[in-house]
Structure 1
């Protein structure tokens, strides 16, 4: 049950996170360090998604770090009624880069 909830959180997070990559023309304007951090975090999230069959072997701390990373991404306002993602892109990617560099998923080595 806990793994199922976590899997849903990760899936939702990946779906939201994908929005920044969908704006490729804006993504390519970001500094290389930001691009790298965002790509790496996406790879880590995808690794989690691809390895839920092993989730019962993960520690509580690892489960918690995944959950916390998803919660942090969930606090980012990708768009508002007044501002679509295109207008908020720099702020959104700055916030996401900070989350990506937060070390939540550093236990995942790719």
Structure 2
């Protein structure tokens, strides 16, 4: 996580806040397709909701970020980076066509344990 090297805690938290905000905005796209989301298996729905709730918790608790360990901050960054690698749409395929693949990838990330330190 090169962007965190030699930065103050305040700078790191500022970077994280931007990453989390962008990730939440991007992630919201799957929930906006309610009719497709409802067709997912219950386990996937729960994992995706849990991950969204964890991201929202992070966003709501940046005022306490000074108390987060480096490992916790790094895990948030990695979670955001992983979501950022998912192709929600391409030139030829909008999200509606890629929905199953996207949600499969996001479910895998959600179940990856990045934010398991956040117990809601």
TM class, shorter-length: over 0.9
Q: 1:44, 1:73 → 2: CA distance?
A: 14
Unaligned 5+ segments in structure 1 are none
Q: 1:67, 1:2 → 2: CA distance?
A: 10
Partner of 1:74: 84
Tell me the C-alpha RMSD between the 2 structures.
Answer: 0.2
Deviation at residue 80 of structure 1 after TM alignment: 0.4
TM-score, length of structure 1 as denominator length: 1.00
1:67-108, Cα deviation, whole Å (9 max, x unpaired): 000000000000000000000000000000000000000000
Unaligned 5+ segments in structure 2 are 1-10
TM-score, length of structure 2 as denominator length: 0.91
Aligned residues: 110
Q: 1:10, 1:38 → 2: CA distance?
A: 15
Moved over 2 A (4+): none
Which is higher, the Rg of structure 1 or of structure 2? Answer: 2
